[in-house]
Structure 1
Amino acid sequence: MTDAEIPDQTTDLLQRYIDAHGYLSWLGMHVESMDYGTLVMTVPFDEKLTNSRPGENGETPARIHGGIAATLIDTAGGIALRPFLDDPMNDDVATINLNLNYLRPAGDDLTATAEVVRAGESVGVSTVMVESEAPDGESKPVATGQGAYRLFRS
């Protein structure tokens, strides 16, 4: 499969799947772009996703809970492998292992870029970098991860 073999409507199909998925839609996850072996997804900042505690009243900047970045890494890494499946829309992907490192707090939208490292017969591996805008206005890495996924082929 080449870049040209990924249909233009793939991003729309993935977004419809996410919109119908309870947890992913609650997070506001959005598919930005997809190429063969690469996927970009976002989760917009929302107070409901922060570590804010009652009584803080804005005393400290709101920071997005680390579990949101972990979910973004897991989801983007798995979806990036779909074009390597025999039937990308009907075959399945399941997480075998997820390893991530938090680099700094995130206080704005999260953007994940997933890259496929390898897609074998039954196991695929992706690396993912999550970035967020820092207080200085520059986009900086907030988490990085790698996932191993079981590829279920028809």
Structure 2
Amino acid sequence: MSQDPADLPPLPDDAAAFLEERIEAEHGYLSWLNTGVESVERGRIVLTIPYDDKLTNSDGETIHGGVAATLIDTAGGLVQRTAFPDPLDGGVATVNLNVNYLRPATGDLRAEAEVVRAGGSIGVSDMRVTSTANGETREVVVGQGSFRLFRED
């Protein structure tokens, strides 16, 4: 069954709160990265990771590309949950992830992900990451992912 997020009622408050708690406090790796949830709505999610020296390459300035890839993967999968009638039921697993690096990230990261399609068993998301440093925001990574949807509805 394909589900268009626009056809669903707004997300329950507890769904957004649950995602924030899981990412910001309970998930070991994402918590260590200091990942934050900026916004969650049907079909769209925004995640952030602030700049930290521990995330940089050996040059001590640019953020390792794996951090941006993690952010893209996480945002792309989580946004698919927003297409479930109840985002707390079921699960999501990455099937394919395409990450295109446009330029080095040198500041805070912000990922936006949107549902392209949420089918019966596979969903596709578009993602982009920007980096803000010294008051300037630049797009640093774009990607698309396909995700296996484990629906309980």
Alignment of 1:2-151 (within 5 A): 2=6, 4-18=9-23, 19-52=25-58, 62-135=61-134, 137-151=135-149
Deviation at 1:134, TM superposition (A): 4.5
Asked whether the 8 Å contact 2:69–2:99 carries over to 1, the reply is yes
Residue deviations 1:38-91, cap 9 Å, x none? 1000011111110035xxxxxxx6110000000000000000010222442130
SS at match of 2:82: helix
AA at the equivalent of 1:37: G
AA at the equivalent of 2:17: D
What is the alpha-carbon distance in structure 2 between the residues aligned to residue 4 and residue 62 of structure 1?
43
- Larger C-alpha radius of gyration, 1 or 2? 1
Deviation at 1:127, TM superposition (A): 0.5
Normalised to the residue count of structure 2, the TM-score between the two structures is 0.89
AA at the equivalent of 2:69: A
Asked whether the 8 Å contact 1:11–1:32 carries over to 2, the reply is no
Normalised to the residue count of structure 1, the TM-score between the two structures is 0.88
What is the alpha-carbon distance in structure 2 between the residues aligned to residue 101 and residue 129 of structure 1?
9
What is the alpha-carbon distance in structure 2 between the residues aligned to residue 104 and residue 117 of structure 1?
25
Residue deviations 1:1-42, cap 9 Å, x none? 657521234332111111211111111110100111010000
Segments of structure 1 that go 5 or more residues without pairing to the other structure are 54-60
What is the alpha-carbon distance in structure 1 between the residues aligned to residue 50 and residue 11 of structure 2?
26
Segments of structure 2 that go 5 or more residues without pairing to the other structure are none
Deviation at 1:133, TM superposition (A): 1.5
SS at match of 2:61: coil
Aligned to 1:58: none
What is the alpha-carbon distance in structure 1 between the residues aligned to residue 85 and residue 113 of structure 2?
20
What is the alpha-carbon distance in structure 2 between the residues aligned to residue 83 and residue 11 of structure 1?
9
CA RMSD of aligned residues (A): 1.6
What is the alpha-carbon distance in structure 1 between the residues aligned to residue 56 and residue 61 of structure 2?
6
SS at match of 1:69: helix
